[in-house]
Amino acid sequence: MEFSKEEISKKAEYCLSCKIKMCQKGCPLGNDITQFISYVKEGKYEEAYKTLCETTVLSPICGRICPHKSQCEGSCVRGVKGESVSIGNLEAYIGDLAIENGYDIPKLTNERKNKKIAIIGGGPAGLTAASNLARHGYTVTIFEKYDKLGGILRHGIPDFRLDKNILDKQIEKILDLGIEVKYGAILGKNIKLEELENEFDAIFLAFGANISSKMGIEGENLNGVYGGNELLENNNHPNYIGKKVAVIGGGNVAMDTARTIKKLGAEEVKIIYRRAEKQMPAEKKEIENAKKEGIELLFQTNVVKILGNEKVEKIECIKTELVKKEGEAREVPIDIAGSNYIIPMDYIVMAVGSKTENEIVQNLGLELTKKGNISVDEHYMTSKEKIFAGGDLSGTKATVAWASRSGREAANEIMKFLEK
């Protein structure tokens, strides 16, 4: 573990145990943060873990990778005049202790329900939904296309941010609830939605949205242009040694991709973002880590086009100014005429957002939103009865905690549906 018991005790004592729990309001999962920290203060670590388990089954993971400064820690009263409580470190410590000491995720009933649910996708939404249902006595089967579970946790977050041994052990803890897994299961190929409808009482679609979006600019189809999501997921990189790489975007995918590429030997890595640094959606610590590792960040810079014959040779950029527009919640970046300039470049990585895999989603026979996500109602149900969807697939905010929350809430709605 990254911290000693003494260090963790000191971090816990810093918490004021507020009656009005602003930190809990800032947590997408609604973790009872002051309560679990109170148990840490008393040395009641298993009780602290059980408190976290009331709302999350991913504590050692969320404790490490959540954007705490914009969620729980960003809402901490301590942070108004000084440093906020180190909630992420405390959560990760308790999650690690649970793995080390074999604390089980508590079951919520010993009654076995005569209902079967299929979960398609073993990422944070799928794992959370599966665990919630299994804890309530339902029979759950996860269908996963890879040979290991984890989804974005395994294929989208680099090892330097999340130790995969910890992920494996937490998944094992989740599966110990009695969840079955069928690996190598690809929806639309070797498993069909119609067949699952016949076999299961409910289906939860949670296979994510991990196709990199494009900017729609000239030169995007040149050799040497990659999607950040695909590079992280497949770990199939070109040779960056001595090369110049531009990563376009300002979120954690951009940071993770840029840092990975720099570690793989790129001579020069630039992150290009059209807004100001304070508007970057990436977590502050990830931005600082990127800077420390020698990555250059170009703010208020847009990309006009990618230049080259058959492969990437240069990139044309333009400076932007931020303008307040009526009806817009934040300032909008506007290109500054005549501020264009060209940078020599070997590879371009698009990290400007993600979308669903159209071929799979469009063949499911389900109603879709204008953005191509699966349309769900307030109960997470799709246009077909007994088929539910959540996580990135249904347009949930793209963080692990929000995906996990949607999995938990969808599981609750599935239980209501099954008990009608």
pLDDT tens for the chain, 420 residues: list them.
578 999 999 999 999 999 999 999 999 999 999 999 999 999 999 999 999 999 999 999 999 999 898 899 999 999 999 999 999 999 999 999 999 999 999 999 999 999 999 999 999 999 999 999 999 999 999 999 999 999 999 999 999 999 999 999 999 999 999 999 999 999 988 999 999 999 999 999 998 778 888 999 999 999 999 999 999 999 999 999 999 999 999 999 999 999 999 999 999 999 999 999 999 988 888 999 999 999 999 999 999 999 999 999 999 999 999 998 888 888 899 999 999 999 999 999 999 988 877 677 878 889 988 888 899 999 999 999 999 999 888 766 678 999 999 999 999 999 999 998
pLDDT for residue 283: 87
Q: Which residue has the tokens 């993971």?
A: 61
What is the CATH number that goes with domain 5-101? Answer: 1.10.1060.10
Q: Token digits for 131?
A: 């665990």
Chain mean position to CA 154:
10
Q: Does domain 212-354 have CATH number 3.50.50.60?
A: yes
| Rounded CA separation 362/399 (Å) | 24
Distances (CA, A) of 167 to 51, 64, 129, 152, 343: 20, 11, 17, 11, 40
Other residues' Cβ atoms within 10 Å of the Cβ of residue 60: 25
5-101 against 116-209+356-418: fold identical: no
Does residue 98 contact residue 125 with C-beta atoms inside 8 Å? no
Q: Where are the alpha helices (DSSP H) in 108-149?
A: 124-135
Residues 116-209+356-418: name the CATH superfamily: FAD/NAD(P)-binding domain (3.50.50.60)
- In this prediction, residue 330 carries a pLDDT of 84
What are residue 241's DSSP bridge partners? 266
- Cβ density class 113-140: b for 16+ within 10 Å, e for less: bebbbbbbbbbbbbbbbbbbbbbbbbbb
pLDDT of 1: 57
Going from N- to C-terminal start, the domains of the chain cover: 5-101, 116-209+356-418, 212-354
